[in-house]
Amino acid sequence: MRDYYEILGVSKDASEDDIKKAFRRLAHQYHPDKLGGDEKKFKEVNEAYQVLSNKEKRAQYDQFGRTFSGAEGGQYGPFGFGQQGFGGFDFSDIFSGGGFAGEDLGDIFGNIFGGGMRTGGRRKRGMDIQADISITLKEAYEGVKKKVSFKTFVTCETCKGIGHEKSAGTTTCDVCKGNGKIRQQRNTFMGSFVQIRECDKCGGKGQIPKKICHVCKGAGRIKGDRTVDMDIKAGVQSGQIIKITGMGEAGLEGNSTGDLYVRVMVQKHPDFDVAGDDLVTEKDVQFSDILLGKEFAITHVDGRSITFTIPAHHNIRHDIVIPKEGMGKKGSMIIKLNVKTPKKMSSKAKKLAEDLRDELGE
């Protein structure tokens, strides 16, 4: 197994933010539903992120090496016990090479405890989906309703997600005898181990369908298109991620659907920048306009005209601040003044400037 840091392409002293950014980029690149996606690499990236994004699990990984990933089951500390069996170290890394009556402990624990405890080797819950959406600054300021469309596994409408024809009925599983679980015992040099786990044949249901759905072939889901309506609130920040529960990939055989994570990207505006909740812009003014108290106007991102006058004795190196005109009505509009001076001055203009200087006592 490759090093988790190597998989994400980050250094071992990478910050949480660096790890998150690397995961988002690689997950977007390798997602199986995207053109050119790679399911194997996507799973590697997800497994690495699940460990390195958690402080405790990352510390355990740095100290002891790879632990079982929570993507397919529980995560545990070194030599810890979880509800699904024996977790912690990858025993094949520690004890591989034989000895102990010629057995590899990695094989022993893998056989006894299922090597991560997947059900029938398949992940039943639907995967989470990541998507990006682009909106204008005006839409971010006011809030907007958008539709997000993508390809993924969707519930099979023919069987309503159960994977078989309900009217045909079921028969009792001949492996688990209807219990949905099987008991396995194995004798090793370390003693006798007993495991009770989900039946592979019936998937823990205890029943076998008599007639599998001819459309989804028993999976309960098929490849399709999903369109999700989302409500983006006013004041959303560029790069903010919105979680929509239950709108990701459909689960196998009617199991729970994954979640949808939408990253909102706000397009660059020609006149305004965003700094936190503040809208920042610039305004060209003449020195004479400042002295005469001229009223200025700026067109807001929503189309309104915002007027202001530079107050008396204002230090022109300071910005003009208009409260409650920022993002989501929380921040302010920050106006940076660019004081323009004439490139050339006529003799009359120079004389007037000198007279003004004398009048003001400068």
Strand order in the sheet with 273-275: 273-275, 278-286, 333-340, 320-322
Mean pLDDT of 45-66: 84
239 shares its domain with 203: no
Total domain count, the chain: 4
Q: How confident is the model at residue 66 (pLDDT cuts 50, 70, 90)?
A: low
146 shares its domain with 16: no
Contact 130, 27 (CB under 8 A): yes
229 shares its domain with 344: no
14 shares its domain with 46: yes
The better pLDDT of the pair 211, 98 is held by 211
Known binder of ligand: residue 126?
A: no
| 164 alpha carbon, distance to own chain's centre | 34
Beta-strand pair 295-299/305-309: antiparallel
Mean pLDDT of 35-55: 85
Q: What is the mean pLDDT of the chain?
A: 80
- Structure-token match 């592979």, residue found: 200
Q: Identify whether 71 is part of a domain.
A: no
pLDDT higher than 60, residue 17: yes
Mean pLDDT of 174-195: 81
Known binder of ligand: residue 298?
A: no
Q: What is the pLDDT of residue 106?
A: 39
150 shares its domain with 250: yes
Q: Identify whether 114 is part of a domain.
A: no
276 shares its domain with 178: no
Question: pLDDT tens across 270-307, in order?
Answer: 999 999 899 999 999 887 777 777 889 999 999 999 99
**Number of neighbouring beta carbons within 10 Å of residue 11:** 9
The better pLDDT of the pair 31, 155 is held by 155
pLDDT higher than 80, residue 206: yes
- Decide which of 64, 88, 117 is a domain's last residue: 64
Kindly state the percentage of the chain with pLDDT values over 90.
46
Structure tokens at 84: 């699904």
Kindly state the percentage of the chain with pLDDT values over 70.
81
Backbone dihedral region of 177: left (phi > 0), alpha (psi from -120 to 50 degrees) or beta? left
43 shares its domain with 3: yes
- Residue 212: CB partners within 8 Å, gap ≥ 6? 163, 164, 165, 218
CATH number for 311: 2.60.260.20
135 shares its domain with 25: no
237 shares its domain with 133: yes
Q: Identify whether 54 is part of a domain.
A: yes
This prediction's pTM? 0.58
pLDDT higher than 70, residue 74: no
157 shares its domain with 237: yes
* C-alpha to C-alpha distance for 96 and 176, rounded to whole angstroms: 33
In 3D, which of 82, 80, 79 has the Cα closest to residue 94? Answer: 79
Q: Identify whether 252 is part of a domain.
A: yes
Q: Identify whether 115 is part of a domain.
A: no
Known binder of ligand: residue 263?
A: no
In 3D, which of 295, 292, 297 has the Cα closest to residue 281? Answer: 297
Q: What is the pLDDT of residue 123?
A: 60
232 shares its domain with 328: no
Q: How confident is the model at residue 336 (pLDDT cuts 50, 70, 90)?
A: very high
Known binder of ligand: residue 332?
A: no
Known binder of ligand: residue 253?
A: no
- Residue 182: CB partners within 8 Å, gap ≥ 6? 175, 176, 196, 197, 198, 199, 200
- Decide which of 37, 64, 91 is a domain's last residue: 64
Measured N-to-C along each axis, helices 39-52 and 16-30 cross at an angle, to the nearest 10 degrees, of 160
Q: How confident is the model at residue 105 (pLDDT cuts 50, 70, 90)?
A: very low
Domain extent for 229:
125-161+219-266
Known binder of ligand: residue 173?
A: yes
Known binder of ligand: residue 159?
A: yes
* C-alpha to C-alpha distance for 96 and 2, rounded to whole angstroms: 16
Contact 53, 19 (CB under 8 A): yes
CATH number for 20: 1.10.287.110
Q: What is the pLDDT of residue 267?
A: 95
Q: What is the pLDDT of residue 293?
A: 76
Alpha helix (H) residue ranges in the chain: 4-8, 16-30, 39-52, 55-64, 91-95, 105-113, 137-142, 287-292, 347-360
306 shares its domain with 204: no
Alpha helix (H) residue ranges in 214-265: none
Mean pLDDT of 111-132: 62
Q: Identify whether 283 is part of a domain.
A: yes
- Decide which of 40, 64, 88 is a domain's last residue: 64
Mean pLDDT of 245-273: 93
Lowest mean pLDDT among 36-40, 115-119, 151-155: 115-119
Known binder of ligand: residue 98?
A: no
In 3D, which of 264, 261, 263, 265 has the Cα closest to residue 129? Answer: 261
Q: Identify whether 259 is part of a domain.
A: yes
pLDDT higher than 90, residue 139: yes
The better pLDDT of the pair 188, 296 is held by 296
Residue 133 CB-density burial (10 A; 0-12 exposed, 13-18 middle, 19+ buried): middle
Q: What is the pLDDT of residue 112?
A: 38
The better pLDDT of the pair 23, 65 is held by 23
pLDDT higher than 80, residue 68: no
Q: Identify whether 326 is part of a domain.
A: yes
Structure tokens at 350: 């120079």
